[in-house]
A and B are shown apart, each in its own frame.
Chain A
Amino acid sequence: MLQADDVTLEWRRAAPTGATPARRRAPGLHGVSLTVSRGSLFGILGPNGSGKTTLLRVLAGILAPARGRVLLDGADLRHLSRRSVARRVAVVPQETHLAFDYSVLELALMGRYPHLGAFGLEGPGDVRLAREALAATGTLELQHRAFSTLSGGEKQRVVIASALAQSPELMLLDEPTASLDLGYQLEIAALLRHLNAERGVTMVLATHDLNFAGSVCDHLALLKDGRVMAQGLAESVLTREAVEALYDVEADVGRHPATGHLVVVPIRKAS
């Protein structure tokens, strides 16, 4: 459903489509092509600075590539309005900081904005969807709390709920577990699998946490220095050789005996 076709972006030439001004030192992308099929849990793996966040922003249509294109069900993102993309694609950023004291329910309701008319206020149906999304992420009891008073894990789940209230077919998540401890990581992993299985939401997540990706994703793409090194089914991509090439480390890759998830154990830095 989502296809990147020869996406290339040098930062000096980057044409922002209205989002943040480009950070000049951010990594570029070089001829990135990948295909995310409907219903899959697609992981983009790579070391820090490999271009994961940039790629995610391009896939979301927030940043336009200098060359190449991104197709959403065959339609070039450049030709779609921001609102029509937002009705189908939701983004969960790595961190969310609100400049004002919105409540959890208010933040969840912001997911409904692309579905409202120009001056429309959200109605009972929108509130129901927002509450459902909060319930799905286990945060409904926080609905009247101020977002700023939540813990890191609660915030991340509320932001996922807000993205879910957007009723997206596709969710793009940037390092969904970056600031979370083990318990929350497991929770988020279970939540993503659940949303994918129950609601059929296609997930694309960028992460440097190989074990998290191994436990959640069915498809993977490996990104290094803005280039795709490999992509395909998780078990065929996440191999010992690939991990060693990606991170310059010696590592062991296997399946966990109890869960059956792919597990990566780093051993030492390659000399």
Chain B
Amino acid sequence: MTGDGSSGVRRRLFVSTATFGLLAFAICLVAPLVGRTPVSLARVFDRSIPFHDNVDAQIFFIARLPRAIAGAIVGSALAAAGVVFQALLRNPLATPFTLGVSAGAALGAILAITFPLAVSTLPFSAVPLASFLGSLFAVLIVYALATGRRLGLSTNVLLLAGVTLNSFFSAIILFVQYMADASLPRAVRWLMGDLDVATYSPILAAIPFTLVAFVAFAWLPRSLNLLAAGPDAAASRGVDVLRAQRLAFFSASLATGAAVSLGGPIGFIGIVVPHLVRLIVGADHRVVLPASALFGAGFLVACDVVARTAMAPLELPVGIVTALIGGPFFLWLLVREGGR
């Protein structure tokens, strides 16, 4: 579907935002109703029953809604970050994890899980904090490398540095795990990506960073469209390229870091969602970015429902579900792109 007529981009923006927004909202509302104990939406919002007697409301608000909200935040952040990284690197196969953000986050989390004593005096869980700091650490290393020679921001160096950092950090993670196998199950579960947040507090901690990233995203779409034709072409159409690239890199890294600290490195959301959305709404980032954020929210929450219920009473980490859906999709995409 291509831009058509004066109403083109406005109409597509409105229709896609409304459709994907309603879809995400409906999924977030229905997801907490599904599970081993069925919950009735009517009873949840029945004001005549006091909250401490209303089991349905307790399950809805305390046990399941945090998980749905976490899924929505993580899904939208990863999907939007995927869109931004793909445009920044001019590579449709880039993911939010390509540049090492998630590897840094994973290293931080694994260290916090393996050596829990060092920071256990903190009033909140150390793992999300450590993973967020780890992602910032990785981001700064990659950025320093890509701008090191003071010749602007090289997206090639960015890509190479990110890929290298990914394997290097993975090696350290394996080393730490090998040396301290007592904490292995928890570490492995974290690495799979899991939305079992249990309370609202990690969500509240992730919201400010996600918000800052999304405010920055609002400035990006037009520059991203022009960057698709290359930095020179973008500059000649009025984009301050270095500033746009910096904003894209740091905001997408921030969104990824916040998402990973909340849900672990949940794979494939950042590539499956943007590509599905592009198939539906076209390539214009002014439509693709908001549509991906909304669709990503609904998609991950839906995947999490599958993860919770598919093998009940066993709860799968949602990362397994997204990978099982994402892997074949990715291959189909490669075949399709290659066929043209």
Contact = CB atoms under 8 A, between A and B. Distances in A.
B229 A82 contact: no
B8 interface: yes
Interface string A3-19: 00000000000101111
Contacts of A29: none
Interface stretch (B28-36, B279-287, B301-309): B279-287
Contacts of B230: 20, 93, 96-97
Interface string A91-120: 101001111111101110111011010110
A99 B229 CA distance: 7
Contacts of B2: 103, 105-106, 144, 146
A93 B286 CA distance: 24
Given A96-B229, A102-B284, A105-B4, A22 B152 contact: yes
B161 to A, nearest CB: 14
B12 to A, nearest CB: 10
A103 B282 contact: yes
B235 A19 contact: yes
Interface size class of A (residues with CB under 8 A): 35 or more
Interface string A57-90: 1001110000000000000000001110111011
Given A17-B235, A90-B236, A123-B6, A106 B283 contact: yes
Contacts of B284: 102, 106
16 contacts: A18-B240, A18-B242, A21-B149, A22-B151, A82-B238, A89-B236, A93-B230, A96-B230, A99-B87, A100-B228, A101-B282, A102-B282, A105-B8, A113-B237, A124-B6, A144-B4
Interface of B: 2-6, 8-10, 13, 86-87, 90-92, 149, 151-154, 218-219, 222, 225-226, 228-243, 278, 282-284, 286, 340
Interface of A: 14, 16-22, 57, 60-62, 81-83, 85-87, 89-91, 93, 96-103, 105-107, 109-111, 113-114, 116, 118-119, 121-124, 127, 144, 146, 148, 166, 172
Given A18-B240, A62-B235, A106-B282, 13 more contacts: A16-B242, A17-B242, A18-B239, A19-B234, A61-B235, A81-B238, A86-B237, A90-B236, A91-B233, A99-B91, A102-B225, A113-B225, A121-B10
